[in-house]
Amino acid sequence: QNEKELQDVVKQQEEKMMQLIDKSGEVTTLKGEVSQLKRSLQRAETEAKVLWEEMRGQDPKVDAAYIQERVLLRQEVDKLRLLLLEKEDENQLLSDKY
Protein backbone atom coordinates (compact mmCIF):
# COMPACT_ATOMS: atom_id res chain seq x y z
CA GLN A 1 0.00 0.00 0.00
CA ASN A 2 2.69 2.49 1.03
CA GLU A 3 4.81 1.56 -1.96
CA LYS A 4 1.88 2.18 -4.32
CA GLU A 5 1.22 5.58 -2.73
CA LEU A 6 4.89 6.45 -2.99
CA GLN A 7 4.94 5.46 -6.66
CA ASP A 8 1.89 7.67 -7.30
CA VAL A 9 3.54 10.62 -5.56
CA VAL A 10 6.75 10.11 -7.55
CA LYS A 11 4.75 9.90 -10.78
CA GLN A 12 2.88 13.12 -9.93
CA GLN A 13 6.17 14.89 -9.17
CA GLU A 14 7.65 13.71 -12.47
CA GLU A 15 4.58 15.03 -14.33
CA LYS A 16 4.91 18.38 -12.56
CA MET A 17 8.60 18.55 -13.45
CA MET A 18 7.80 17.83 -17.10
CA GLN A 19 5.18 20.60 -17.09
CA LEU A 20 7.71 23.03 -15.60
CA ILE A 21 10.28 22.06 -18.23
CA ASP A 22 7.69 22.63 -20.98
CA LYS A 23 6.79 26.02 -19.50
CA SER A 24 10.47 26.91 -19.18
CA GLY A 25 10.92 26.17 -22.88
CA GLU A 26 7.90 28.32 -23.70
CA VAL A 27 9.30 31.18 -21.61
CA THR A 28 12.64 30.93 -23.41
CA THR A 29 10.87 30.98 -26.78
CA LEU A 30 8.75 33.96 -25.75
CA LYS A 31 11.81 35.85 -24.50
CA GLY A 32 13.45 35.29 -27.88
CA GLU A 33 10.34 36.54 -29.66
CA VAL A 34 10.16 39.63 -27.42
CA SER A 35 13.81 40.36 -28.12
CA GLN A 36 13.24 40.04 -31.86
CA LEU A 37 10.17 42.30 -31.66
CA LYS A 38 12.16 44.93 -29.75
CA ARG A 39 14.83 44.92 -32.46
CA SER A 40 12.15 45.20 -35.15
CA LEU A 41 10.53 48.09 -33.30
CA GLN A 42 13.86 49.86 -32.98
CA ARG A 43 14.52 49.45 -36.73
CA ALA A 44 11.03 50.70 -37.57
CA GLU A 45 11.43 53.74 -35.31
CA THR A 46 14.77 54.54 -36.91
CA GLU A 47 13.30 54.22 -40.40
CA ALA A 48 10.38 56.45 -39.42
CA LYS A 49 12.73 59.13 -38.08
CA VAL A 50 14.81 59.10 -41.25
CA LEU A 51 11.72 59.28 -43.46
CA TRP A 52 10.31 62.22 -41.47
CA GLU A 53 13.64 64.03 -41.72
CA GLU A 54 13.72 63.44 -45.48
CA MET A 55 10.16 64.68 -45.89
CA ARG A 56 10.88 67.88 -43.97
CA GLY A 57 13.72 68.68 -46.32
CA GLN A 58 11.75 68.20 -49.55
CA ASP A 59 10.58 70.96 -51.85
CA PRO A 60 7.76 71.61 -52.28
CA LYS A 61 6.86 71.02 -48.70
CA VAL A 62 5.05 67.76 -48.10
CA ASP A 63 1.80 68.11 -46.18
CA ALA A 64 2.73 66.59 -42.82
CA ALA A 65 -0.92 66.35 -41.74
CA TYR A 66 -1.72 64.31 -44.85
CA ILE A 67 1.20 62.01 -44.21
CA GLN A 68 0.26 61.63 -40.54
CA GLU A 69 -3.31 60.74 -41.54
CA ARG A 70 -2.00 58.10 -43.97
CA VAL A 71 0.21 56.66 -41.23
CA LEU A 72 -2.73 56.47 -38.82
CA LEU A 73 -4.92 54.84 -41.46
CA ARG A 74 -2.20 52.30 -42.23
CA GLN A 75 -1.88 51.52 -38.51
CA GLU A 76 -5.63 51.00 -38.28
CA VAL A 77 -5.58 48.67 -41.29
CA ASP A 78 -2.74 46.71 -39.70
CA LYS A 79 -4.67 46.41 -36.41
CA LEU A 80 -7.76 45.18 -38.25
CA ARG A 81 -5.68 42.69 -40.24
CA LEU A 82 -4.18 41.37 -37.00
CA LEU A 83 -7.62 41.02 -35.42
CA LEU A 84 -8.83 39.13 -38.48
CA LEU A 85 -5.87 36.75 -38.30
CA GLU A 86 -6.46 36.18 -34.59
CA LYS A 87 -10.14 35.38 -35.22
CA GLU A 88 -9.22 33.04 -38.06
CA ASP A 89 -6.76 31.28 -35.73
CA GLU A 90 -9.46 30.97 -33.04
CA ASN A 91 -11.91 29.53 -35.56
CA GLN A 92 -9.28 27.09 -36.79
CA LEU A 93 -8.56 25.95 -33.24
CA LEU A 94 -12.27 25.51 -32.56
CA SER A 95 -12.83 23.56 -35.77
CA ASP A 96 -9.77 21.38 -35.03
CA LYS A 97 -11.11 20.74 -31.54
CA TYR A 98 -14.45 19.39 -32.80
Band of the pLDDT at 11, cuts 50, 70, 90? Answer: very high
Phi, psi for 7 (deg, rounded to 5): -65, -40
Q: What is the pLDDT of residue 69?
A: 85
Q: What is the pTM for the complete model shown?
A: 0.48
DSSP one-letter code for 98:
-
Q: Is the pLDDT of residue 97 over 70?
A: no
Structural domain for 23, as ranges: 1-96
For residue 63, the one-letter residue type is D
How many domains, the chain?
Answer: 1
pLDDT tens-digit readout, 45-63: 888 888 877 777 776 666 7
Which are the contacts of 9, defined by CB distance < 8 A and separation ≥ 6?
none
